[in-house]
A and B are shown apart, each in its own frame.
Chain A
């Protein structure tokens, strides 16, 4: 019998599912042998640098590039209007699925007018980056400064300047979700709690900045772009469409990617310009953003002001939740994913773990003269989770219940799926109750509370936080991009083939940024096929090699790409067994593949090695019947079919100490229980969670793009924009509940972002728990010492 059930495929002795294999790519990186885009050099390569707008909003009266052009080593100086002639036209960062959304046409470099400080205005291409920067200093631009709109609170006021007059106002998007009977629930409520929140802007700060080398061959009309990208096929479409090059002539290669976190899934004008320069010059052009221009040009995220109300019964049942979100995005909506996704996601997930039915959520998204915002790790989740969990803590306090007990009472039951959350989205295969109980045990919650109480007596103020979450992962085509009109695949694909010597090549549309995608895909393929991990070579990140896919975003690589690998591997296995059956004159169903051999399914006796199948299938096909031609290759695609997202769930715990004299917050310990479905590689999954948490902690405590009223970014260096460093970060304990998703056979859900989503909320909860005796409440992130001292009334 070969029709092994799925569970025993994963449980077979030679299964790689659930094993913490280390990454072959890591071995290369520790030797300094990683190859990132900036490590690549080509003959005749030249380097791009940009003159950027010094103003948040200003008219370009005149550009004088004569002195720059005259400098030795300069090969090209191009302004926005000249670039526009080489483009198919400005883009508009809207998606049809966001009804009523509007955005102004955006050129790759400013034409006539700059709308944020840092917007590229003139490109200089020269023999070296240093010479290009020297020449940038010789470009003279006459500016007429225009009034800048920089505050979301007043962006829609009548006397506030409208950034794009053709749009009529500064409103990008408005959306309301209204489910159940919110007004009646509030009227009838025993207790109504209200709070307002502020979330500062921050940005991705991938250690490797945005990077690109573009080469154009006029002979073949081939455009080859090495770029640090998460989404090779999407960016292929973006470069092709914006520059009028046929898509199939564009090859995108993502070499080693030095961190991305959502930053590297967007369109950036400077990159379009560098590619245009390579076409004009027919020479390779390299553009590596420096750190300061990264702060001015990478997408920002998370500038939100939220007011929230919660209705609770005396017994401690949530009766209704209402939130009003005002989000300040940049001067344009980012293309092609938009800048409104974040607010939309806040509406989707806020209060998602709980079983209340009355929910009203309003998003108002306004344009500001600041860097455009868009998707950054855990889009919207840090905001929605912080808000909901704070309200839950307040409700627990108001009803006299312990925060754990209150959550026990209100989370959706583990036996209640499929279900629909209050926001109206379908969820299934979740485990809030199991995760909560596991967390309480891990934290030794009661003991922790005793310690906290004892230390209070000594004037040490520690706080315990709990924050549950749902996380939208692995979006399906019913959600946004598919129907929205963007060239972003929600399906993903794998082509797997048996090579003549018995090795296996596995090509995947999802891409690797160090999280271990290639390793996980190899583990899945090896297991599904019945071969050793070492006999598989996984190829990703090259549009010339891999089947068309969406790439890596929205925690989709394992959930979607992994299932495609699983299905393709099973299909190849079937073909191998069919061919083996012909050669061995056996029923394919009596055969199996174990450790690179076709074996007898009943007793494991080796019948023929895969190397023989490969050799015969490629070189000795004459040994096979005339009417049988082996392909020894399979391609399978997978998409989430029934859901807008495969939602995951989990819960965090945090233990912090607040110095009430200095306002400093010390993170003592962090716990996570995560349900990302079937875990393929436990160590890699844990490290995704840990790394995600610390990114969330950065946003919660330190990271802030600080603007003044004129729209000038005040802290565009790593000395001034604070990121989490080792000494401030806690150890993070991670555990899993595994509820496989029923959307796929593999059962994996996304794991890459939830840490970032929940960590800010749990730490805010812990800080407020520490501050309780002082009647001080912190609802502003980042929670700087100043914010804490303000809450304490000390500054």
Chain B
């Protein structure tokens, strides 16, 4: 069978990359297998669990529901990129300190979604944080500690913002 392919050029975590990809390959398979960015995980590959969440042109998307070819020309950010830029270092510290992760499989997606909430820069109740994260499945923690870690980070940022 001849696999249909296409050349794509995109920016991933600030670096421009160009690859020949199968048109049926979804974005996270591309990131994981072509670029070695294994921080984005696949938990269901049908858009429910949120483990594959990545940022594409500033929006958080399910990386399993977008094809790599659709990201041609896009700016993609993954947990590796957000880690290196330092954007979420406070959130990561609070996750570690609070024990807001166990197996860690959901964590990159959870962090990327929480980062979006933090960027809104407005106060949130615990219920609002729970609602915001409700597209991300965690089987280990029971969520309480995750909500604590996000709430703490949000409050720290609000206190420190002018």
Contacts and interface: CB of A to CB of B under 8 A. Distances in A.
Given A207-B51, A718-B49, A726-B130, A27 B43 contact: no
B106 interface: yes
A687 B95 CA distance: 13
A586 interface: no
Interface in A182-214: 205-209
A726 B136 contact: yes
A729 B147 CA distance: 11
Contacts of B140: 259, 514-515, 691
Contacts of B80: 31-32
B117 to A, nearest CB: 12
B44 A32 contact: no
Interface stretch (B4-12, B34-42, B66-74, B152-160): B34-42
Could you say which interface size class chain A belongs to?
35 or more
Interface string A303-318: 0000000000000000
Contacts of B103: 29, 206-208, 256-260, 513-514
Contacts of A717: 44, 46, 48
B146 A259 contact: no
A727 B105 contact: no
B97 interface: yes
Interface in A6-26: 20, 22-23, 25-26
Nearest to A34: B104
Contacts of B42: 38
Contacts of B135: 725
B56 interface: no
Contacts of B106: 207
A205 B139 contact: yes
A693 interface: yes
A137 to B, nearest CB: 11
Contacts of A35: 38
Contact of B138 (A20, A25, A207): A207
Nearest to B29: A130
A727 B99 contact: no
Contacts of A31: 39, 79-80, 83, 92
A134 B104 contact: no
Given A30-B107, A30-B111, A723-B137, A514 B144 contact: no
A657 to B, nearest CB: 14
Contacts of B97: 22
Most chain-B Cβ atoms within 10 A of its Cβ — which of A23, A30, A695, A718?
A30
Contacts of B119: none
Nearest to B78: A32
Contacts of B1: 71-72, 131, 134
Given A33-B39, A723-B139, A726-B143, A256 B44 contact: no
A732 interface: yes
Nearest to B91: A30
Contacts of B49: 207, 718
B46 A718 contact: yes
Interface string A400-415: 0000000000000000
Interface in B110-135: 111, 126-127, 129-131, 133-135
Given A22-B99, A134-B1, A36 B41 contact: yes
Contacts of A695: 139, 142
B141 interface: yes
A552 to B, nearest CB: 12
B44 to A, nearest CB: 4
A539 interface: no
A33 B147 CA distance: 22
Interface residues of B, number: 58
A683 interface: yes
A26 B91 CA distance: 13
A453 B32 CA distance: 56
B101 interface: yes
Nearest to B93: A30
Contacts of B83: 30-32
Contacts of B143: 694, 724, 726, 729
Contacts of B136: 725-726
Contact of A726 (B25, B39, B107, B146): B146
B99 A687 contact: yes
Contacts of A513: 102-103
A591 B160 CA distance: 50
B142 A690 contact: yes
Nearest to A688: B102
Interface string A443-472: 000000000000000000000000000000
A514 B101 CA distance: 8
B39 A206 contact: no
Given A30-B95, A32-B83, A726-B143, A130 B24 contact: yes
B130 A687 contact: no
B134 A514 contact: no
A618 interface: no
B67 to A, nearest CB: 13
Interface string A29-57: 11111111011000000000000000000
Interface of A: 20, 22-23, 25-36, 38-39, 71-72, 130-131, 134, 205-209, 256-261, 290-291, 513-516, 683-684, 687, 690-695, 717-719, 723-727, 729, 731-732, 755
24 contacts: A23-B96, A29-B107, A32-B40, A34-B39, A34-B104, A35-B38, A130-B22, A206-B103, A207-B41, A207-B43, A207-B138, A209-B43, A258-B103, A291-B44, A515-B140, A684-B99, A691-B141, A692-B142, A718-B44, A719-B46, A725-B135, A726-B134, A726-B146, A729-B130
Nearest 7 Cβ contacts at the A-B interface = A32-B39, A29-B104, A258-B105, A694-B142, A514-B102, A514-B103, A32-B79
Given A207-B41, A207-B103, A724-B143, 14 more contacts: A22-B99, A30-B95, A30-B107, A31-B80, A31-B83, A31-B92, A34-B104, A261-B139, A514-B104, A514-B140, A683-B99, A717-B44, A718-B44, A719-B48
